[in-house]
Amino acid sequence: MLWRLGTAPSAAMLRWYFGPEHIAKQRLWRYVLNAMNNPRLSVRYGGSSVITLDYRDWLQHQIMEKGAYEPEVWSALSTRAVTGEVFWDVGANIGTFTIPALRDDRIATVHSFEPAPNVNRILREHVRLNGGDSCHIHQLALSSRNEECALTFGPAINSGMASLARGALPETKSCVVPCFTIDTLVYGQGFESPTLMKVDVEGWELEVLRGASRVHREAPPKTIVFEAECNGDGAIVDPAICRLLEGYGYGVAHIARPSGEIEPRENYVAVHGRSPGATRDVSRM
């Protein structure tokens, strides 16, 4: 189990952290947590759920500040849920999308894929904390082929940057992870075919989608949200992703950030059955 503070002491700590500034506040914050061997802070996530956070990690610090991580992405996906949905969370990290899926009555089953061993351990604890009986956690990666690949870890301050897309440099930690195609898992190993998917794998998204050719033909997910590199206007840089999805009958739209900012990698939603065309803002769909 993770070394974590309960929700009440964590809430008190965060009220102080985000309260009035004073001299040496940041230094005192680090000193106190270091003295306690840096426990994870337990916070409410989306109402009744619980998530634990390491303040030193960029993504987790975003949740500390805002209470959620990219809620607009979950909204783009969940608004198309009906009942009995099967959600695949590809690149689940610590469960920022797995957790809301677990509390959504329209989602019957969750499959969460997180190959990084240390992050997978946190994900499992979060699923346990939130009574995730409907969740199946897989310590493997998805790709266009069944093989073993080197997973390059992200920096210590951003565990979400682990990726198969770049080869491990001598000074960069990595590990070998098993990779499977979506088609293999569904038609070879009996996994339930996804009706909703989130794919956030730091540049490996196209390879994941290429590994689902039979699923796309025979049982296409109704909605896929994914991350991709984009230009300053929010258009996807690699046209292969849109060509692949549009070829299977998806329309692709940009998911705008609440701030209106466009970052080097943005989120997109692909909806099956919509007319394919130029990438556009999801608010206009």
Distance (Å) of CA 220 to CA 87, 212, 224, 248: 13, 9, 10, 8
Report the pLDDT value the prediction gives residue 170, as an integer from 0 to 100.
53
Which of 250, 231, 198, 240 has its CA nearest to residue 77?
Answer: 198
Position 283 pLDDT exceeds 50 = no
Q: Give the mean model confidence (pLDDT) for residues 8-17.
A: 95
Position 197 pLDDT exceeds 80 = yes
Can you list the domains of the chain with their CATH numbers?
Answer: 1-68 (no CATH), 70-284 (3.40.50.150)
The structure's pTM equals: 0.93
Q: Which tens digit of pLDDT belongs to each residue from 36-62?
A: 999 999 999 988 899 999 999 999 999
Q: Which tens digit of pLDDT belongs to each residue from 33-42?
A: 999 999 999 9
Position 274 pLDDT exceeds 80 = no
172 or 154, greater pLDDT: 154
Q: Which tens digit of pLDDT belongs to each residue from 198-251?
A: 999 999 999 999 999 999 999 999 999 999 999 999 999 999 999 999 999 999
Whether 15 and 7 have beta carbons less than 8 Å apart is answered as no
Position 277 pLDDT exceeds 50 = no
- Residues 6 or more apart whose Cβ sits within 8 Å of residue 132: 98, 102, 110
Window from 27-31, 130-134, 188-192, 233-237 with minimum mean pLDDT: 130-134
Which of 58, 134, 40, 44 has its CA nearest to residue 89?
Answer: 134
Q: In the predicted model, what is the mean pLDDT of the chain?
A: 92
Residue bearing tokens 């990726």: 163
Strand-pair partners of 176: 150
Q: Which tens digit of pLDDT belongs to each residue from 87-113?
A: 999 999 999 999 999 999 999 999 999
Position 168 pLDDT exceeds 60 = no
The separation between CA 207 and the C-alpha centre of its own chain, rounded to angstroms, equals: 16
